[in-house]
Amino acid sequence: MSVKYVYRFSDGSGSMKDLLGGKGANLAEMTNLGLPVPRGFTVTTEACARYYGDGERIAPEIEAEVLRGLEWLERETGKRFGGEDTPLLVSVRSGARASMPGMMDTILNLGLNIGATETMARRSGNERWAWDCYRRFIQMYSDVVCEIDKKLFERHIDDMKALRGVTQDVELSAADLRELSERFRAVYHEKTGTDFPDDPREQLIGAVKAVFRSWNNERAIVYRRMNDIPGSWGTAVNVQEMVFGNLGETSGTGVAFTRNPATGEKKIFGEFLMNAQGEDVVAGIRTPQSIDMLREVMPQAYDEFTRICATLEAHYRDMQDMEFTIEDRKLFMLQTRNGKRTGTAAVKIACDLVDEGALSESQAVMMLDAKSLDELLHPQFEPAARKRAAVIGRALAASPGAASGRVAFTAEDAKHRAARGERVILVRLETSPEDIEGMAAAQGILTVRGGMTSHAAVVARGMGKCCVAGCGGIVMREDAREFELSGKTYTENDWISLDGSTGEIFAGEIATTDATLSADFARVMSWADKYRTLNVRTNADTPRDAARAREFGAEGIGLCRTEHMFFEEDRIPAIREMICADTQEERERALAKLEPMQQSDFEGIYEAMDGLPVTIRFLDPPLHEFVPTEERDIEQLSRDIGKSVADIKAIISALREANPMMGHRGCRLAVTYPEIAEMQTRAVIKAAIAFSKKHPGREIVPEIMIPLVGEPRELRYVKKIVTDTADAIIADSGMQLKYKVGTMIEIPRACLTADEIARDAEFFSFGTNDLTQMTFGFSRDDAGKFLDAYYKKKLLESDPFERLDRDGVGKLVETAVKLGRSARPDLKIGICGEHGGDPSSVEFCHMVGLDYVSCSPFRVPIARLAAAQAAIASRTDI
Amino acid sequence: MSVKYVYRFSDGSGSMKDLLGGKGANLAEMTNLGLPVPRGFTVTTEACARYYGDGERIAPEIEAEVLRGLEWLERETGKRFGGEDTPLLVSVRSGARASMPGMMDTILNLGLNIGATETMARRSGNERWAWDCYRRFIQMYSDVVCEIDKKLFERHIDDMKALRGVTQDVELSAADLRELSERFRAVYHEKTGTDFPDDPREQLIGAVKAVFRSWNNERAIVYRRMNDIPGSWGTAVNVQEMVFGNLGETSGTGVAFTRNPATGEKKIFGEFLMNAQGEDVVAGIRTPQSIDMLREVMPQAYDEFTRICATLEAHYRDMQDMEFTIEDRKLFMLQTRNGKRTGTAAVKIACDLVDEGALSESQAVMMLDAKSLDELLHPQFEPAARKRAAVIGRALAASPGAASGRVAFTAEDAKHRAARGERVILVRLETSPEDIEGMAAAQGILTVRGGMTSHAAVVARGMGKCCVAGCGGIVMREDAREFELSGKTYTENDWISLDGSTGEIFAGEIATTDATLSADFARVMSWADKYRTLNVRTNADTPRDAARAREFGAEGIGLCRTEHMFFEEDRIPAIREMICADTQEERERALAKLEPMQQSDFEGIYEAMDGLPVTIRFLDPPLHEFVPTEERDIEQLSRDIGKSVADIKAIISALREANPMMGHRGCRLAVTYPEIAEMQTRAVIKAAIAFSKKHPGREIVPEIMIPLVGEPRELRYVKKIVTDTADAIIADSGMQLKYKVGTMIEIPRACLTADEIARDAEFFSFGTNDLTQMTFGFSRDDAGKFLDAYYKKKLLESDPFERLDRDGVGKLVETAVKLGRSARPDLKIGICGEHGGDPSSVEFCHMVGLDYVSCSPFRVPIARLAAAQAAIASRTDI
């Protein structure tokens, strides 16, 4: 059976998006609804895939099928392609499964040549219009099909206007435009070495090919990566009879939404231009009028349009984004699609549609884009102010939100200036744990190096603070306290602004609006909680973060990183003393100083979580992260602990590692220094006993998590240290206290030996940051150097540190779940890597049967929604 | 059914080594052969496993079974344990499945107490002997069972000798010895708080327990790790009636081999002492006599012994290592086992046994220890000189052989001093590719950091040069040109010596003997080649290495690391120019300089391999490895390429990575700079064309290997660069040339997506060094810091960089083989990591169905033998 590559609009339907693309499917659907749609047909996405499969050529049978479609269109319209009688003109537009606005190409007025233009001029009595159509067609075709620089044509228009002494295109005469068409054809000949095609069929095939090709232009690739659209989908091509909004004052064209896409208000929202073609609305040469004015200008058309809006909303049960054209008072619908909207509008529309009875709650949950919640939770730039600002760079959108401030080059500087009331943006090559206070004081963080799981990105997300990471274009001159970007130099006196949701960097200050959580938001979240089966926990290291995460709906802590507590000013001396210890006794003495502080940290967190589960990860980072780097700090440490500066430097140098990510860290520290694990166990257990005493009758079950286990015996060894220590304390206390010991699964070998590990682990938590690093062999701090090339060359479609890689990392996760549960059927399994807050990754976690996801506080609502969507998608009963 | 934990010698057999241990099985076998063996029984290895499983206690039913064994022994011997009539004395000895000489503990004369000693004195009329037995027993028991410091007892002996004015133990009287026994019992009481046990049954159970415990003493753990013996095996315990070589001048004891263990000569070799117990032979207080003298001293016993030697050799078909005791002219055999031997002896004995008709060729192959071939291929210390030398340290046996020289602290220094005829040992914190010439010039290499796959280890093995790596005990003071080890300081004037086969470091110069390959060696290798199914290739980067590997029997090159060529003095400027290029054009200009050099390298290698397959790996290391670090070199580079010093420093700084092992390297370089892959392709293909022209009719099929692939599209992308470039050159040449494109499998994700990768890869080669790093998350350069703790705490039993980890890395290898062949059934698969020369890993490669292993030239014979052993072991027809 041969594949069908061309569908008439009347043969398709709205459910055929995969094959016809969104635009084609909706044109078919509107046609079937009896709405006024110009006739046409769609070349399928499969034809596009075939085009690439065949080495970027259109197979003869596809070409033949397109031309048969055209013959049918000629019969239907009674016009002839290139005909001298009534010429058929068509538009050729791309349309992928997912909306990719502006990413690919469109050609209007296709089918014209000199003869057809003359005919059209004669028959319409509008000679100027006819030649304007032709010269526009030559421009678009040359640009889209042959990639000839648009400027070459614009220069001729400017010359012509100068010659005629006019300033506006519309002041040029029919003869001028005919003359321009001749000059454009000459440009085309000069650049391609061939004549501009007069055969409309040749034009059409060239245009189809160009649309296919535009699927892989650079901006489309970037857009797909940002929006998780697979490159394999391909685009469809819609070929449609032209209608003209530029036939005179009874014609026009416009775009509109059935509701307000910024606020969600239920009122048609849009704009139109009389006597114009689609591109004029976008080009901004004339100022369009509000759609409300159409009621005055052309009441009949307006009434028909509002009826169509109602029909489409009722049909699609969602807010629609439409394009229309009025040709001599007759309304034509050129496109409809579910409209893009702000997070605020999305939530309001979802609630309104439920209240209107158009959607069930679960349908309302499904219609929301989980990622779009980010803008409800973080400050955003005022749209108008943002539009005026100059973009000076673009990097990874590492932590959402918007911020402006003056540049600060060190964390210390940021802290001091913020204390004086100044707003600063911290700009660093990369951040390290020493910078945390400065990061907290800054409005936003910009780094030169590092990816989506770099220190800066992870910490900023935890703080809910805007961060743009990995801007390799910055030339940093820290000594001079300045940096260069896009050819300009910025100093401490300069304001910059960051959009952490898009990764854009702006010069100057931009006004922001605060985040406000509406009642609608709470309603949507309550629906989500009804449907999801995954629990949602948070990654929080402090009582403050824990409290905030609970406000966002976290049901426990999935990852409390104990080391973050060590960096605070009153603790770091003790941890440094511990690191510099020569003997176990010295080490234990230093650890004894840390213990009460750790215990009080844990008490605070237990209080904040009020009995909800708390998973505490034992010391994980390599010790060198804690040692001082500045001469001054080394001298201070020397005085503090009574060791010589030379000795301390020798210790620091001995801690240096070639690849610290795969070095002496995680449970390897507990193996070499069991006393660290003993101290941490004491702090965890004593804090739980204190909590129990304070709140009699309230149960608390601390979960101790051993990081970086790769071999079952490692866990067994450390677990024994933990249980020996804990059991003794509990016995001494005379209280009943349960606790659990589990492990991070973050080393590939742990996944492969998960059955053995599960014999000792009471829970697993996937540390997919490290697991991704080691499965790919990508250092999260260094991969930025080559990942851009990987995206450009289509070797990777998304950042594996942002979106869990199902083909590789996912296979290891599945293996570990299967092996782990084979040994311990009731094994509780979660994820606490950064993927826990990414919707696609949450869906994967649901599919492989995890019990919970854990993410930074500000991503908890996103995870709740994504978990509900995954649950609903996999149910057959609702 | 209850498990049987105790076997009488007469109930066992030589095939029950797993259960009875080697010693127990052989005692049983000798008993069944009718040889004179004192009666006894064996407590099984399963009892030992049970002991550990039960939390280091002996279960009551095992204790009961041991005591029942004892009752049987009393009946058999007619003696009574602790009896006042004829006291039964036993020896208690450990005996594991594999021989672990001296690693575990032995107790003689067990069963004595004061009463039994008096009885024995009375009945034998040899009072001195009886009390000597008792005081020896107290000493051994206290040491082994209660871990009381031996010195506490020796001090009393010294006091007693001083009191009596004598110097030798034998000069002490019976009364002195009785007095000593009393004092020893007092020491025991003081140290343990309890009386020395008088109940022989209590003594026996204590001794059995102590032997079990000794399985996990530190030296046993180290020995097991060095010899690949699993900790789960456990040891058996042999309880045997004592016979006495110290009853007078008609008694004696000795050890002997059926052939010379150093040379393999077919002549009984050994020594004996009259009037002595076993320990005296070892202790070296008196000088033993050659076994030949026994013929004079006690001809009858000698004749019987030679008959027994013949019987045992005929029975075991291998050279035997025996212990015997003559009690009042009666010969008793206490032990036999296959004797340890030098590599030279092993090969000679294997050949002789085949010639004698005792063994088939395949049996001869199986009896050899592949690792022992190392000493045939490398210089060794003269045994006598070595014995006199002082060991000052011990680290990883990174590359076998022996070397002496004066200390050199830099590669440059090593080069210059060697050029002047001086012998030097290069001592470095770690080596880098810049050090290669200095390494080649040195006699041996000693490093402070790094493991079995560190740069120093890999390069030294490739050169066949002795290397001891990762000696963390060294305090290096490079600026002062000295290092400290074991409390002493060594400068450039000091001689040191290294044994790369044991990891020992000696002070001073030690005479060495050259490696010589005998005709026997060639014979054994020819047998191995007959049986093996795995091909054996070599890792070689230069024509010289390639030629040497062919001499050792390599059947091709499995890994030619192109980057090693770049470090030579005439190339490094061009590679640096390439790295510092700002534009693709600049980069191509620099690459054009490298191309003819690369081409001539490949021509040389093709010539050396003479048509055998050659796999060329494209550029792999991160570029920062090539840039200069010394100010002087940076200035030189600045002059060479006309870029400012500041610019060059900025480039170097930008190349720095947090975790270079997971950074911008491997095929990631070819993705970002396709022109590098193009240049390398041109060099590979043009060299092959030149070879073909020079040798008409000789086919050459270069194999291009793309490193570090983790995603199928990566390989597809780089492969297209290679094939486009290669096909154009071949078409231009007008010649027929085939070539293959394949990939390293060294990233975990590559194993998981191997089916997709195999669609483009014509061969796989496992890079198990990197695969081990990423599967474990162990940086090869940093893991040394904690691996020692892992061995001591029994979390790992062997170095995963030395012996392929079957539980984790092995699973990934199996997955990749299965997936790869599912997509491409004829996929050729090899291994080129350092594991390719390790016998256990070679066995694994055979089992999972690889086509070849590739290893450094000097390990080729080992790999050939190991491959043959794996093949023979898996065959059922021979």
- A 48-107 residues inside an 8 A Cβ radius of B: none
- B775-804: per-residue pLDDT in tens? 999 998 889 889 989 988 889 988 999 999
Q: Which residues in chain A have Cβ-Cβ distances shorter than 8 Å to B816?
A: none
- Pick from A775, A789, A790: CB nearest B748: A775
Instruction: Give the Cβ contact number of residue A814 at 10 Å.
Output: 16
Q: Hey, are the CB atoms on A659 and B660 less than 8 Å from each other?
A: yes
Q: Hey, are the CB atoms on A774 and B748 less than 8 Å from each other?
A: yes
* Residue B232 dihedral angles phi and psi, to the nearest 5°: -75, -15
Tokens 């001029």, located at residue: A121
* A711 and chain B in contact, CB less than 8 A: yes
Catalytic residues of A: 455, 832
Q: Hey, are the CB atoms on A779 and B659 less than 8 Å from each other?
A: yes
- A440-467: per-residue pLDDT in tens? 899 999 999 877 777 888 888 878 889 9
Residue B85 has what pLDDT? 77
Among A52, A221, A774, A814, the strongest candidate for a mutation testing the B interface, having the largest count of B CBs within 10 A, is A774
Q: Which residues in chain A have Cβ-Cβ distances shorter than 8 Å to B785?
A: 657, 663-664, 672
Percent of chain A with pLDDT over 70: 98
Nearest C-alpha neighbor of A598 from the set A560, A624, A626: A560
d(CA B49, CA B28): 21
For the record, the structure tokens of A444 come out as 């936003």
Residue B515 has what pLDDT? 81
* A785 and chain B in contact, CB less than 8 A: yes
DSSP state of B248: S
User: Are the C-beta atoms of A853 and A830 separated by less than 8 Å?
Assistant: yes
Say if residue A646 is exposed, middle or buried (CB neighbours under 10 Å; 0-12, 13-18, 19+).
exposed
- Pick from B671, B747, B809: CB nearest A777: B747
Q: Hey, are the CB atoms on A708 and B774 less than 8 Å from each other?
A: no
pLDDT band at B316 (very low <50, low <70, confident <90, very high): very high
Q: Hey, are the CB atoms on B662 and A663 less than 8 Å from each other?
A: no
Indicate the pairing of strand B87-88 with strand B80-81. parallel
Residue B577 has what pLDDT? 93
User: Are the C-beta atoms of B492 and B376 separated by less than 8 Å?
Assistant: no
Residue B492 has what pLDDT? 94
Query: A687-693 long-range CB contacts below 8 Å, 24 or more apart?
Result: A687/A599, A687/A600, A687/A601, A687/A602, A687/A603, A687/A606, A688/A602, A688/A606, A688/A737, A688/A739, A689/A729, A689/A730, A689/A733, A689/A735, A689/A737, A690/A599, A690/A603, A691/A603, A691/A606, A691/A607, A692/A735, A692/A737, A693/A735
DSSP state of A194: S
Q: Hey, are the CB atoms on B807 and A753 less than 8 Å from each other?
A: yes
Q: Hey, are the CB atoms on A672 and B773 less than 8 Å from each other?
A: no
User: Could you confirm whether B189 is annotated as catalytic?
Assistant: no
Q: Give CA separation, A665 vs A658, A677, A769, A820, B363, in Å.
A: 13, 13, 15, 24, 48
Residue ranges of alpha helices (H) inside A196-239 are: 200-214, 218-226
- B365-403: per-residue pLDDT in tens? 999 999 888 888 898 898 889 999 999 999 888 888 999
Percent of chain B with pLDDT over 70: 98
Q: Hey, are the CB atoms on B779 and A668 less than 8 Å from each other?
A: no
The sign of the CA dihedral A722, A728, A729, A733 is positive
pLDDT band at B168 (very low <50, low <70, confident <90, very high): confident
* Catalytically annotated residue among B832, B835, B845, B855: B832
Percent of chain A with pLDDT over 90: 70
Percent of chain B with pLDDT over 90: 70
d(CA B300, CA B286): 24
d(CA B667, CA A793): 13
pLDDT reading at B285 higher than 70: no
d(CA A666, CA B403): 39
Q: Which residues in chain B have Cβ-Cβ distances shorter than 8 Å to A752?
A: 775, 807-808, 811-812
Instruction: Give the Cβ contact number of residue A421 at 10 Å.
Output: 6
Q: Count Cβ neighbours within 10 Å for each residue of B198-219 and write b for 16 or more, e otherwise.
A: eebeebbbbbbbbbbbbbbeee
- B35-82: per-residue pLDDT in tens? 999 999 999 999 999 999 898 999 999 999 999 999 999 999 999 887
Q: Hey, are the CB atoms on B776 and A749 less than 8 Å from each other?
A: yes
* B717 and chain A in contact, CB less than 8 A: yes
Chain A residue with minimum CA distance to B622 = A782
Q: Give CA separation, B603 vs A690, B595, B600, B613, B729, in Å.
A: 76, 12, 5, 13, 16
Q: Which residues in chain B have Cβ-Cβ distances shorter than 8 Å to A708?
A: 777
Query: A183-189 long-range CB contacts below 8 Å, 24 or more apart?
Result: A183/A156, A184/A135, A184/A138, A184/A139, A184/A142, A184/A153, A184/A156, A185/A138, A187/A142, A187/A148, A187/A152, A187/A153, A187/A156, A188/A138, A188/A142, A188/A146, A188/A148
Residues in a beta bridge with B239: B41, B92
Q: For chain A, report the end-to-end CA distance as a whole number of angstroms.
A: 36
Tokens 């990631």, located at residue: B668
* B755 and chain A in contact, CB less than 8 A: no
Nearest C-alpha neighbor of B771 from the set B846, B831, B861, B731: B831
Chain A residue with minimum CA distance to B472 = A654
Nearest C-alpha neighbor of B119 from the set B155, B86, B95: B86
CA distance B476 to chain A (A): 11
Cβ-based neighbours of B12, under 8 Å, separated by 6 or more: B19, B20, B24, B25, B27, B28, B29, B31, B42
pLDDT band at B153 (very low <50, low <70, confident <90, very high): very high
pLDDT band at A284 (very low <50, low <70, confident <90, very high): low
Q: Which residues in chain A have Cβ-Cβ distances shorter than 8 Å to B767?
A: none
Q: Give CA separation, B506 vs A344, B496, B532, in Å.
A: 76, 6, 39
Cβ-based neighbours of A589, under 8 Å, separated by 6 or more: A577, A581
pLDDT band at A818 (very low <50, low <70, confident <90, very high): very high
Q: Hey, are the CB atoms on A812 and B748 less than 8 Å from each other?
A: yes
Tokens 């456990």, located at residue: B234
Task: Give me the total of CB pairs closer than 8 Å, taking one residue from chain A and one from chain B.
Answer: 178
Residue B700 has what pLDDT? 92
Tokens 């390639």, located at residue: B546
d(CA A110, CA A93): 11
Query: For all residues of chain A together, what is the average pLDDT?
Result: 92
User: Could you confirm whether B48 is annotated as catalytic?
Assistant: no
Residue ranges of alpha helices (H) inside A217-333 are: 218-226, 278-283, 294-297, 299-316
Strand order in the sheet with A252-257: A289-290, A269-274, A252-257, A320-327, A330-338
- Pick from A672, A786, A796: CB nearest B789: A672
- DSSP assignments along A605-624, one per residue: HHHHHTTS-EEEE---S-GG
Tokens 């030589």, located at residue: B14
- B720-749: per-residue pLDDT in tens? 999 999 999 999 999 999 999 999 999 999
Residue B608 has what pLDDT? 94
Q: Which residues in chain B have Cβ-Cβ distances shorter than 8 Å to A675?
A: none
- B571-604: per-residue pLDDT in tens? 888 999 999 998 999 999 999 999 999 999 999 9
d(CA A465, CA A458): 10
Q: Hey, are the CB atoms on A774 and B770 less than 8 Å from each other?
A: no
DSSP state of A38: -
User: Are the C-beta atoms of B832 and B745 separated by less than 8 Å?
Assistant: no
Most confident of A28-37, A693-702, B50-59, B273-282: A28-37
* B777 and chain A in contact, CB less than 8 A: yes
Q: Hey, are the CB atoms on B773 and A662 less than 8 Å from each other?
A: yes
Q: Hey, are the CB atoms on A777 and B748 less than 8 Å from each other?
A: yes
- Pick from A659, A753, A783: CB nearest B781: A659
- Pick from A777, A789, A809: CB nearest B672: A789
Lowest mean pLDDT among A284-288, A758-762, A791-795, B298-302: A284-288
d(CA A867, CA A852): 9
Say if residue B717 is exposed, middle or buried (CB neighbours under 10 Å; 0-12, 13-18, 19+).
buried
For the record, the structure tokens of A461 come out as 């997300």
Cβ-based neighbours of B845, under 8 Å, separated by 6 or more: B534, B831, B835, B836, B853, B870
> Residues for chain A: how many in total?
878
* B658 and chain A in contact, CB less than 8 A: yes
CA distance A693 to chain B (A): 35
d(CA A679, CA A591): 7
d(CA B709, CA B319): 50
The one-letter amino acid at A52: Y
Segment B826-847 shows an average pLDDT of 95
Residue A477 has what pLDDT? 87
* A782 and chain B in contact, CB less than 8 A: yes
> Residues for chain B: how many in total?
878
Q: Give CA separation, B468 vs A492, B139, B453, B463, B502, in Å.
A: 53, 38, 12, 14, 9
Indicate the pairing of strand B396-399 with strand B390-394. unpaired
User: pTM of the predicted model, to two decimals?
Assistant: 0.84
* B657 and chain A in contact, CB less than 8 A: yes
Nearest C-alpha neighbor of B617 from the set B627, B605, B626, B635: B605
Residue A15 has what pLDDT? 92
For the record, the structure tokens of B720 come out as 């297209």
Annotate A640-696 with three-state secondary structure: HHCCCHHHHHHHHHHHCCCCHHHCCCCHHHHHHCHHHHHHHHHHHHHHHHHHHHHCC
User: Are the C-beta atoms of A242 and A90 separated by less than 8 Å?
Assistant: yes
Q: Hey, are the CB atoms on A782 and B811 less than 8 Å from each other?
A: no
Annotate B717-738 with three-state secondary structure: HHHHHHHHHHHHHHHHHCCCCC
User: Are the C-beta atoms of A96 and A45 separated by less than 8 Å?
Assistant: yes
Cβ-based neighbours of A655, under 8 Å, separated by 6 or more: A579, A622, A623, A624, A627
Residue B477 has what pLDDT? 87
d(CA A633, CA A628): 6
CA-only gyration radius of chain A, Å: 32
Query: Residue B332's Cα: distance from chain center in Å?
Result: 35
Q: Which residues in chain A have Cβ-Cβ distances shorter than 8 Å to B708?
A: 777
User: Are the C-beta atoms of A493 and A469 separated by less than 8 Å?
Assistant: no
Indicate the pairing of strand B495-499 with strand B504-507. antiparallel
